[in-house]
Amino acid sequence: MSGLPNYQCSCGRSYAPSAERWRCDCGGLLDLPAGPLVWNPRAGDHSLWRYRDAIAVPGRELSLGEGMTPLVDASLDGEPGVRLKLEYASPTGSFKDRGAVMLVALARLLGASRLVADSSGNAGTAVAAYAARAGLPAEIFVPAGTSEKKLLQIRGHGAEVTVVDGSRKDTAAAAAGRVEATGAFYASHVYNPYFYEGTKTYALEVFEQLGGTAPATLVLPAGNGTLVLGAYLGFAGLRAAGLVDRLPRIVAVQAERCAPLAAAFAAGREEVAPVAPEPTVAEGIAIAAPARGAHMLRAVRETGGTVVTVSEEEVARSHASLAARGLWVEPTGAVAYAAVRRLRSEGSPYAEGEIVAPLCGSGLKASL
């Protein structure tokens, strides 16, 4: 209808986007067609919409100025070759704004009258903010134990909060149940591939901020994988367009206490089996059964990357070390940096060359 690319499933089915569709009739995950992207950054636009020729959704009018986050050289801290991308400087305090603006713009284009999302917190706050901006009611499902400040933020934007007394998985099931019962648009950062149209701009910014080059390594936190997969898609699109000749290695980082991707990678498997998670301070990546696990494994392997885990102590030490240098993140926001420190202290080959790692979420919304 609107020039939007169709959803595609690996079973061969394809669907024009509609407000009700969020997975394939076979139960499979939907993706968008891949290919070269159009590289035409618009000078003067200091948001991710400067890359609008590479983004499949028109949604610039909803912008809160998301994207174009600072890329800070960490060499002053005795870490030459490491750059930190301050995703916590996003409008709602996390990189999820990149994808949320896409989903809300899509929902509006498709004529949705109500949104449902589930989240460990940050995606929910982002969807709530952009829904408010679009004048659409939203209901956000979160697991019990989600930071009070994130709940306050979601409610502040006028969205309804439903706290699910169960796991992150139970929360997703409750949201999907509400979607099925009401016909609401499912603004899911896991299922809706348009979310990745937003997170792929992380890669486009890194490329532009490094003067039109790819770093050797991207170290990225991995829960459901929205940044891992977005960064992969962005660099894959740049490579297909002939703008880079290789993909940066993707090092995906998980919390030791909830590491299904790390287990699958180490075992050489192609699918990710669910784990029984233990509580972790890295609440944002505590995903025991990531739906796009196989996609993440393929992205990591294709780039010659790896999966590492970090302990609670490493996250705490990295959080404190960032804070001592003026960078105030939530614990999950310190996970990628903790992995960088570990790789460098071990003299890992993955630490060779230029490394870029995000600080994903603001410390202002953590209950520390």
Ligand X SMILES: Cc1ncc(COP(=O)(O)O)c(C=O)c1O
Interacting residues toward ligand X by CB under 6 A: 94, 120, 122-123, 221-227, 284-285, 287, 330, 332-333, 360-361
Instruction: Look at residue 224 and give the partner it binds from Zn ion, ligand X, none, a contact being a CB closer than 5 to 8 Å depending on partner kind.
Output: ligand X
Residue 244, CA distances (Å) to 81, 213, 235 in order: 19, 7, 8
- Please check whether residue 261 is in contact with residue 272, taking contact to mean a CB–CB distance below 8 angstroms: yes
Kindly tell me which residue out of 4, 9, 294, 323 binds Zn ion, with binding defined by CB under 5 A. 9
Query: Which of helix, strand or coil describes residue 116?
Result: strand
d(CA 263, CA 274): 10
d(CA 340, CA 353): 12
Amino acid at 87: E
Pairing mode, if any, of strands 71-73 and 82-85?
antiparallel
Nearer to ligand X, 139 or 283 (CB): 283
Which of the stretches 10-18, 54-62, 105-113, 287-295 binds Zn ion when contact is defined by CB under 5 A? 10-18
Closest approach, Cβ 225 to ligand X, in A, equals: 5
Closest approach, Cβ 2 to ligand X, in A, equals: 27
d(CA 356, CA 335): 13
Instruction: Look at residue 9 and give the partner it binds from ligand X, Zn ion, none, a contact being a CB closer than 5 to 8 Å depending on partner kind.
Output: Zn ion
Closest approach, Cβ 44 to ligand X, in A, equals: 30
Nearer to ligand X, 69 or 224 (CB): 224
Q: Convert 261-305 into a string of H (helix), E (strand) and C (coil).
A: HHHHHHCCCCCCCCCCCCCCCCHHHCCCCCCCHHHHHHHHHHCCC
Closest approach, Cβ 177 to Zn ion, in A, equals: 21
Radius of gyration of the chain (CA): 19
Binding mask 13-42 for Zn ion (x = CB under 5 A): x----------x-x-x--------------
Nearer to ligand X, 112 or 227 (CB): 227
Nearer to Zn ion, 176 or 310 (CB): 176
**Interior angle at CA 202, CA 197 and CA 207, nearest 5:** 115
- Count of residues binding Zn ion (CB under 5 A)? 6
Angle between helices 226-240 and 293-302 in degrees, nearest 10: 50
- Please check whether residue 239 is in contact with residue 246, taking contact to mean a CB–CB distance below 8 angstroms: yes
Nearer to ligand X, 74 or 228 (CB): 228
Instruction: Look at residue 26 and give the partner it binds from ligand X, Zn ion, none, a contact being a CB closer than 5 to 8 Å depending on partner kind.
Output: Zn ion
Closest approach, Cβ 294 to Zn ion, in A, equals: 14
Instruction: Look at residue 308 and give the partner it binds from Zn ion, ligand X, none, a contact being a CB closer than 5 to 8 Å depending on partner kind.
Output: none
Binding residues (CB under 5 A) for Zn ion: these are 9, 11, 13, 24, 26, 28
